């Protein structure tokens, strides 16, 4: 498959309502959208890096520069047999997993379309629908949080995830648990606690949570291992895990008992599958996390979550929870807590180009590579 050209866009999509986490408040989602073209076909993916390096160290500015000036010029105008060959060509680039995932995922979509197969099929998926939970941002009050949690439970979501931060944790979680009964509830701290707050973390441990996600620093597996040894509630790692090696080390040292796989965080579908397989070898479940993606990224997540060891409900809830209008034509909506896998070749979704143009801030067409040489190995 010869990659003929590419298009990079910076898109800003307004959220229906603000989404607050320990990082701050989001009112729109700004992201990189990459389209790859080959022999009349098109594949697309979005990057999950942020404007500021708050979740991980990558940024939108850095990713755009790397993709436009280094990565795309090294792959356009050449033939690639499959995603593995493409990514081996780029193996000399260290880090920058989110930027590389943007290319890798777009190529997976393109390659699956060339085979006229759904992405889930070529990834090795086993489901036609996936169980879905919902992630609730930090609300104005405990009462508002309980009301939102109950509302989403009544809509059939299989798990309620609550964003927490110091001072917004035990009392709120206790109230939600009391209102929801046996429905699984989890919390996500986005690395906002330390072992110095062990009393709060132990209090959360008494509330019957399904798991506690990334309570400690984004790059500290050792303290997570210390904390897990003190806790009955399983810990789930997110920001700490960027590769299958990270997952192996974390599970070996007891830093967690399950893993949140975000395909855009770990470098793409190839590494996501490796993490999935490593976790399965440790009998540790995985689930598919989200980064407030538009329908393009959400479709990639849904297809990935069809793999066998994705046994916990993921964050692939209905697009209509976030957007008044999405950038794809197909609705991605749950029913009874299950998200159907989009049918058709590739991700099974198509861009709504007239609307996409209205939310595009910048656009760059990459049509001729500067060089066909592979990036130099360090």
pLDDT tens readout for residues 58-72: 899 999 999 999 999
Mean pLDDT of 192-212: 97
Can you give the CATH number for the domain in which 295 is found? Answer: 3.20.20.120
Structural domain boundaries, residue 36: 5-116+352-366
Measured over the CA atoms of residue 259, residue 262, residue 250 and residue 246, the dihedral's sign is positive
- Tell me the CATH number at 17: 3.30.390.10
239 shares a domain with 301: yes
Out of 29, 161, 163, 312, the active site residue is 163
Q: What global pTM score does this model have?
A: 0.93
pLDDT band at 377 (very low <50, low <70, confident <90, very high): very low
Contact 360, 9 (CB under 8 A): yes
- Reading the block at residue 83, the tokens are 């995603």
Active site residue 163: yes
What is the domain count for the chain? Answer: 2
* pLDDT at position 376 over 60: no
Q: Is 262 assigned a catalytic role?
A: yes
Calpha distance 254→224 (Å, rounded): 8
Q: Tens digits of per-residue pLDDT, 75-85?
A: 999 999 999 99
**What was the pLDDT predicted at 20?**
73
Catalytic residue among 29, 161, 177, 262: 262
User: What is the pLDDT at residue 53?
Assistant: 82
Residues 66 and 208 in one domain: no
Q: Which two tokens stand for residue 172?
A: 């709120």
* Residues 270 and 290 both lie in one domain: yes
For the cut 60, the answer to whether the pLDDT of residue 375 exceeds it is no
Instruction: Assess whether 311 and 180 both reside in one domain.
Output: yes
| pLDDT tens string 42-57 | 999 999 998 888 778 8
Which residues, at least 6 apart from 349, have a Cβ–Cβ distance to it below 8 Å? Answer: 295, 296, 299, 328, 329, 330, 332, 342
């Amino acid at each position: 498959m010869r990659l003929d050209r590419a298009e990079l866009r910076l898109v800003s999509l307004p959220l229906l309502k603000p989404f607050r986490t320990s990082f701050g408040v989001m009112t729109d989602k700004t992201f990189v959208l990459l389209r790859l073209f080959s022999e009349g076909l098109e594949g697309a993916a979005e990057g999950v890096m942020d404007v500021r390096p708050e979740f991980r160290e990558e940024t939108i500015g850095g990713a755009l520069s790397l993709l436009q000036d280094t990565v795309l010029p090294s792959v356009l105008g050449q033939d690639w047999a499959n995603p593995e060959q493409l990514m081996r060509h780029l193996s000399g680039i260290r880090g920058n997993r989110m930027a590389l995932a943007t290319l890798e995922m777009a190529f997976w979509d393109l390659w699956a379309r060339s085979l006229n197969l759904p992405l889930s099929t070529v990834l090795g998926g086993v489901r036609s629908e996936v169980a879905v939970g919902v992630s609730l941002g930090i609300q104005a009050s405990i009462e508002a949080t309980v009301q939102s949690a109950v509302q989403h439970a009544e809509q059939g979501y299989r798990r309620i995830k609550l964003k927490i931060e110091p001072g917004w944790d035990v009392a709120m979680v206790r109230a939600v648990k009391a209102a929801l009964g046996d429905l699984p509830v989890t919390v996500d701290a986005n690395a906002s606690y330390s072992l110095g707050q062990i009393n709060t973390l132990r209090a959360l441990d008494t509330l019957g949570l399904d798991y506690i996600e990334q309570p400690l620093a984004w790059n500290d597996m050792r303290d997570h291992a210390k904390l897990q040894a003190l806790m009955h509630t399983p810990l789930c790692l997110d920001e700490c895990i960027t590769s299958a090696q990270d997952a192996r080390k974390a599970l070996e040292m007891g830093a967690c008992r399950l893993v949140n796989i975000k395909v855009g965080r770990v470098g793409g579908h190839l590494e996501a599958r490796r993490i999935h397989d490593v976790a399965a070898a440790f009998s540790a479940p995985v689930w598919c996390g989200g980064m407030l993606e538009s329908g393009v990224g959400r479709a990639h997540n849904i297809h990935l979550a069809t793999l066998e060891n994705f046994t916990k409900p993921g964050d692939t809830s209905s697009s209509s929870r976030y957007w008044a209008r999405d950038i794809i034509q197909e609705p991605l909506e749950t029913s009874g807590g299950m998200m159907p896998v989009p049918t058709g070749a590739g991700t099974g979704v198509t861009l709504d180009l007239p609307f996409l143009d209205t939310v595009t801030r910048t656009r760059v067409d990459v049509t001729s590579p500067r060089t066909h040489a592979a990036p130099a190995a360090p």
